[in-house]
Structure 1
Amino acid sequence: MEPLRKLLKNQNSEKTTEQIFSEVFADQDVKAFLNTNRDRLTDEDIQRGRSKLYEYVHEKHLAQNGAPSVAPGYTPRLVMSAGQIDVTYVPTAQLLKQQALQAKQRRVSKRYMPKFIEHATLDDYYTNNEGRAAALNAAVKFVNGYSKGNFVPGIYLSGSFGVGKTYLLGAIANELADQGVNSMLIHFPTFAVNMKGSIARHTTEQERDEVKQAPILMLDDIGADALSPWLRDEVLGVILEYRMQEELPTFFSSNFSMDELTDHLAQDNNGNSEPLKAQRIMERIRFLSREVRMVGPNLRTKG
């Protein structure tokens, strides 16, 4: 806080010190504070605390007028400290709301995901057909039933392009964040490309382990691209094996049904077929999640 002399110097030069302090002591909050603490304050204490009273009124008026203050986002409050008048600063309701929103957003780790999921909510997820209604019901059931240490299978959302699978994953993550639960959402095809680059960066295990250990993991658009045997077995397979052993809820979205994904994973990007390895992956997916089929028009094409 600036010295009182400097603050007074910045005031309207036509006002005398007496006039300024007359206004300070006329402030309703100051009067209420002095009245509340009248048995604890002597005239000498009040005289000694004039600068604090002035600071309070000055900063309060700055905050009320939206002008720059000594503590942006905070409002002054008069307190008694060690028997003396003092000023403390408490966060405004707006700042608390902003901090709560930021804390919530930090609970949802997003990797290569579209920006719109930041504001996705279950309340805004409309159910215009049986598939979307079933998906919403499954989402609500999971959110209401999840608790740390109590395994609840995630959801495997299957359906064509643009039916709202990614949005629903984001809505679930945001609802869980409101409950203090951390989650990670990943666009799997982009993650797969990034993992190829991790070999040159020598960060493969680190990046893979960070994903496999997420409290709630959501793999979006799995099956969109053919995978190499290494990506299928040493990346996806390792992630799913760990999560199955640790019973960590996992969500998926895909244009393929589970049966279709089995066939897709059997074919690597060189055209080779390895059905047993694909079935091994699918055993873990089926353990970790339950399929819900979504149908409907492509919402991305709507004007």
Structure 2
Amino acid sequence: MKNVGEEIKRILPDRFLERKAALIKRIKDHPEVLRLLAEYPDQVDVERDLSNLGNHISCFDHCQSCPGLNACQNEFPGHSSHEEVSEKQSMLIFRLKKCPKLLAFEKQTSNQKKIKSHHIPAHITAATFEDLENDPLRRLAIAECINFCAGYQKGVTRKGLYLYGPMGVGKSRVVGAIANEMAGMGEEVIMVYVPEFLEEIKESFSTNDVHSKLAALMEVDILILDDIGAGQSSSWTRDGVLSPVLNMRMETKPTIFTSNLTLSELSNYFVTARDSKNQMDRRQHEINAARIMERIEPFVKALHVGGRNRRREG
């Protein structure tokens, strides 16, 4: 009868045992396996767990040199390998869990579903505070926006924000970051580009849809009115659209504005509103402008946003 050991050697692939010994040594010397051996000396047996450890460190190495979620090299993209102790078997088992990049992507996707934007470009609604260029001329404004998000409590009266400054400095992206942050906290956000939304409201008369659109702005947790004061002001949009929406929100729900105008200039903008029927004299326009400013100015913190024109300079 042949020696069993000799028979095993004969049927094994060439240099199998030598290659296996080299693999065991490489795995034993891997920094991640050294960590596991140090933390779980009674649960790790490299020869017994060779296959599982090999898969674990392969996943570990890919994560250490991560090229980004879109180019993830793991078998299940966006997942990393984590050890757990199996009490029954007194050994380690390895489970795949979503990595921070995948979780961040899913959070971003979820946030986008909560933000009901109207006429707002995707790069604005996708903005995050981490993405914003932190230049000195808008650093204070960004910090105040972060503080607003951190201190927000549903149902607790809190001042909104009024971000003003020249065109192209990135005001819309800053409030886009607020929208994403608040949506990530579970709050519903509507972000409206005011000039185009007001045109949409006019067109909605033919479908009797005006009330539902305005009710949505009145009731949403966080309302962002982007570029208020742009375009020609009319007494109808001032008194029939913006004023009632803000009147319903000012005591309970914060509103965030961006504008190229200071609050004083915004007041004058409302005074010079076009009155299609010429029913109001200047004094009446001044009264109505003061009325809507009373729904804005006491309920916001004004923040100047400066810096370079990002549209022109890239």
Q: TM-score range by the shorter chain?
A: 0.5 to 0.7
TM-score by length of 2: 0.62
| Unmatched segments (≥5 aa) in structure 1 | 1-12, 128-135
Q: Distance in 1 between matches of 2:202 and 2:236?
A: 9
| Structure 1 position 62, deviation (Å) | 5.9
Q: Distance in 1 between matches of 2:60 and 2:167?
A: 51
Tell me whether 1:80 sits opposite 2:101 in the alignment.
no
Tell me whether 1:285 sits opposite 2:296 in the alignment.
yes
User: Equivalent residue for 1:243?
Assistant: 249
Contact 2:222 2:253 in 1 (8 A): no
User: Equivalent residue for 1:171?
Assistant: 174
Q: Distance in 1 between matches of 2:55 and 2:142?
A: 52
In structure 2, the CA distance between the partners of 1:195 and 1:37, relative to structure 1 (3 Å rule), is same
In structure 2, the CA distance between the partners of 1:283 and 1:57, relative to structure 1 (3 Å rule), is closer
2:23 partner amino acid: E
Identical counterparts, % of pairs: 20
User: Equivalent residue for 2:196?
Assistant: 190
Contact 1:222 1:252 in 2 (8 A): yes
| Structure 1 position 174, deviation (Å) | 2.6
In structure 2, the CA distance between the partners of 1:261 and 1:141, relative to structure 1 (3 Å rule), is same
Q: Distance in 2 between matches of 1:35 and 1:296?
A: 52
Q: Distance in 2 between matches of 1:224 and 1:115?
A: 21
| Structure 1 position 236, deviation (Å) | 1.7
1:281 partner amino acid: I
Contact 1:189 1:225 in 2 (8 A): yes
Q: Tell me whether 83-92 or 108-117 shows the greater mean CA deviation.
A: 108-117
Tell me whether 1:152 sits opposite 2:154 in the alignment.
no
Contact 2:43 2:85 in 1 (8 A): no
User: Equivalent residue for 1:55?
Assistant: 55
Contact 1:227 1:269 in 2 (8 A): no
Contact 1:122 1:171 in 2 (8 A): no
Question: RMSD value over aligned CA atoms?
Answer: 4.7
Superposed CA offset, 1:134-173 (max 9, x none): xx7566556546543242253263x6x6273xx2353255
Q: Tell me whether 25-34 or 85-94 shows the greater mean CA deviation.
A: 25-34
| Unmatched segments (≥5 aa) in structure 2 | 1-12, 67-71
Q: Distance in 2 between matches of 1:243 and 1:287?
A: 13
**Correspondence 1:109-124 to 2 at 5 A:** 110-114=117-121, 117=124, 118=127, 121=132, 123-124=134-135
Q: Distance in 1 between matches of 2:267 and 2:205?
A: 31
Superposed CA offset, 1:244-286 (max 9, x none): 1325243241447133123233x33455536354443333123
Q: Distance in 2 between matches of 1:113 and 1:232?
A: 21
Superposed CA offset, 1:56-97 (max 9, x none): 345446666877432212222333224254211234454456
| Structure 1 position 189, deviation (Å) | 0.7
Aligned residues: 275
In structure 2, the CA distance between the partners of 1:57 and 1:99, relative to structure 1 (3 Å rule), is same
Contact 2:120 2:192 in 1 (8 A): yes
TM-score by length of 1: 0.64
Q: Distance in 1 between matches of 2:305 and 2:38?
A: 66
Tell me whether 1:253 sits opposite 2:254 in the alignment.
no
Q: Distance in 1 between matches of 2:53 and 2:306?
A: 65
User: Equivalent residue for 1:90?
Assistant: 97
1:240 partner amino acid: L
Q: Tell me whether 179-188 or 58-67 shows the greater mean CA deviation.
A: 58-67
In structure 2, the CA distance between the partners of 1:68 and 1:20, relative to structure 1 (3 Å rule), is farther
Contact 1:21 1:54 in 2 (8 A): no
Tell me, what secondary structure is at the counterpart of 2:173? helix
Tell me whether 1:264 sits opposite 2:272 in the alignment.
yes
Q: Distance in 2 between matches of 1:95 and 1:277?
A: 50
Superposed CA offset, 1:156-205 (max 9, x none): 63x6x6273xx235325536856866654321011112233445566544
